[in-house]
Chains A and B, each alone.
Chain A
Amino acid sequence: DVKVTQSSRYLVKRTGEKVFLECVQDMDHENMFWYRQDPGPGLRLIYFSYDVKMKEKGDIPEGYSVSREKKERFSLILESASTNQTSMYLCASRRIDAEKLFFGSGTQLSVL
């Protein structure tokens, strides 16, 4: 089974802190994604990556950046965390020729 691992299940940070969310997948998937999930809007795409060092903005990239230096790892960076970035963050991956997404178990981030 594909495993997508997110480094933290719960995270509490202060406004202005730099935050790193890490995601690792073990199935050599080319595509990786970062979503945030909120009541109301639901799942929204922040960034995605086609392959190593390749990234594209999703629907809500403002306030976020990403890094994909290795195929298995996709990092989401909040340069200066703000309270409106309190959310559930979900990482996902998939093969380039497949539709099915595999999600990590999520990181609940609280910014105080």
Chain B
Amino acid sequence: RKEVEQDPGPFNVPEGATVAFNCTYSNSASQSFFWYRQDCRKEPKLLMSVYSSGNEDGRFTAQLNRASQYISLLIRDSKLSDSATYLCVVNMRGSARQLTFGSGTQLTVLP
């Protein structure tokens, strides 16, 4: 079983739609969680960290469910510019492997 699993998609949604991605992780000792965004043929960039209490940044909301070992990303009122691959990233503190990346979920927002 992969340490971090995501639905690869693709998710094709119309502009203005709300879309949600989930990500599950296998190691219950995992300490910190992130969503990175990767545009086509570009490098990944940090979108947001995910906190236990949940956190919001504009149209983006991230949530963590430790009991079920998953994190989620919700995008409201999606824009064409949100089209990208979203990578779920997990860090188990003290792990020599540092950050573990999911394979990514591809989102295309259609006009």
Query: Contacting B103 at CB < 8 Å: which of A35, A40, A59, A99?
Result: A40
Interface residues of B (CB under 8 A from A): 32, 34, 36, 42-46, 49, 87, 91, 96-104
Instruction: Tell me, in angstroms, the Cα distance from A44 to B3 when the chains sit together.
Output: 12
Q: How far is the CA of A106 from the CA of B102 in the complex (A)?
A: 18
**Contacting residue for B97 out of A41, A45, A90, A106, CB 8 A:** A45
Report the nearest A residue to B91, measured CB to CB. A99
Q: Given the interface contacts A90-B43, A106-B43, does A42 sit within 8 Å of B32 by beta carbon?
A: no
- Complex contacts, B100 vs chain A, CB 8 Å: 45
Docked Cα-Cα span, A99 to B44, in Å, equals 14
Write out, one digit per residue, whether chain A residues 75-102 have a CB within 8 A of any chain B CB (1) or not (0).
0000000000000001000000001110
A59–B46 CB distance below 8 A? no
Rounded to whole angstroms, the CA-CA distance of A45 and B36 in the bound complex is: 16
B44: A residues at CB distance < 8 A: 43, 90, 101, 103
Among B32, B46, B96, B102, the residue within 8 A (CB) of A101 is: B46
Q: Secondary structure of the B side of the interface?
A: strand
Q: How many A-B residue pairs have CB under 8 A?
A: 41
Report which A residues bind B (CB closer than 8 A): 31, 33, 35, 40-45, 48, 56, 58-59, 90, 99-101, 103-106
CB pair A105–B42 under 8 Å, yes or no, is yes
Which residues of chain B come closer than 8 Å to A58, judged between CB atoms? 97
B49 proximity list for chain A (CB < 8 A): 99
Distance (whole angstroms) from the CB of A30 to the closest CB of chain B: 12
A56 touches B103 (CB 8 A): no
CA distance A105 to B49 in the complex (A): 22
Contact B43 A104 (CB under 8 A): yes
What's the nearest-Cβ distance from chain A to residue B94, in Å?
13
**Complex CA distance for A103 and B38, rounded to whole angstroms:** 11
Residues of B within 8 A of A40 (CB): 103
B43 touches A103 (CB 8 A): yes
